[in-house]
Structure 1
């Protein structure tokens, strides 16, 4: 008998769809506002056609992701996150290119442009973490009844949110106003490096929840901390240090640089403690006895029973 598929959590599906559609619609508003005149109609048609195709995909993937809310599986949630970031970052790239080609001539125009660029950074730093937390849905996992275990997983997801803000901050240095622009190859490398991190690393965190299953052990979820230590905490620290020392970018966030230094120390200590407290493997004989097949155990039982029966027969005679 084939088990029935669990029903989708409708509030979760609606909330996820509303968050994704709202953030994409706000990015569409940026694209339309940046193209005045006759080009605006063409941009509107292109944007609406792309959104219609995405809504078709969202209709099915969001429902499938909503059916995984109460389980350990997060496969469709990873697919939905991948599609969401893929579409969102394409829109961000075109907005960034439009800002790059703008010629700021007056102070009022410069002020308005600065406000809109910082608003774009604020939009990304709010929408991405909220969508990720909604897809993770830790509070809906029915089998995580112990409060301590749930809080440990929630603290790990908090690190993912902080890393998302770190990546968005690095990416925002490209479109927010600055005195001297970076070389073209540096800008392209920074943007697409952040693009890959936003696509992959949250999916790694969701996959750790899926791989653990019902018997989830938070201290064994070490794949994401190792990857984030190398790709975010170390490399973004080098990126900010290079922009500050080589190109004189005074807008580099000192707070995020301090966060990376603290994260390097904390995650390194966690890795050392994890290696120290790894349980020793069981003895070979005991493991063979435990993992012996049931047929072998049954044969041994019968042999022992036959020997005891023969011994009792001899004793009685």
Structure 2
């Protein structure tokens, strides 16, 4: 079964099977003179990246640029491992992310705090990226990778401070990582384009997230390429969904903080997760969609991590 999809405009999407699930994370391949990959996913996904390159007839030695939108491990954790197969590639990263790819010790500690005993299965091994193979791109800087194809890097915090989004001149699309949410293509199959904000700890800020979304909206892009997962050719609907859900997420967190002020953070997180999952399930039920199978597991995991980030933000705000 093929795991590389043609998205047009000389862009292919390789399914990288994060969590062992289809259409969870992906790597985008830009077929240009400087062959470029955007997003690596975590290290257990690298065999899928290499299989996808093989399907596309690409020798990993041809890869010149590996771009990560941000350094969370489900987007960049496999960069060091992928480099071992791509001897001619450099890794392009946000200025705030460079030192963590060179020395991932803090990334590993942070992920272990969130994922606990699941860490090894989800992320191991995390290899450092040699300093000489790291390139940073500041806000507004560009990279020409082929005739008529310029990538422009935009600082887009909100999900994380070490996050940029990449505008592609050929497709008039933008690779947004997690800045403006997560897409659930499993629900596209049921007739619904559905997007939720990604509010994971520990740098989530809803106001900054909305500012970054406005920055993206101002570009009048025609398509959005998500880290999770795939492309939407309906940007206005993406923006509407994030603007709809983000206030609900924050209000739900404030409700839990108020009503369960004496509870432990773990109990608050469980309560917020249940509240968010009930709201999402109710919303989908109104669209005649019932959650079952892989999509339930994926949304539950996302909302569990989102709950941690919302409470972390509100606790910092209260201090």
TM superposition score normalised by structure 2: 0.28
Higher relative contact order (CA 8 A, sep 6+): 1
Q: Which has the higher helix share?
A: 1
Q: Which has the higher strand share?
A: 2
Question: For the pair shown, which has the larger CA radius of gyration, 1 or 2?
Answer: 1
TM superposition score normalised by structure 1: 0.29
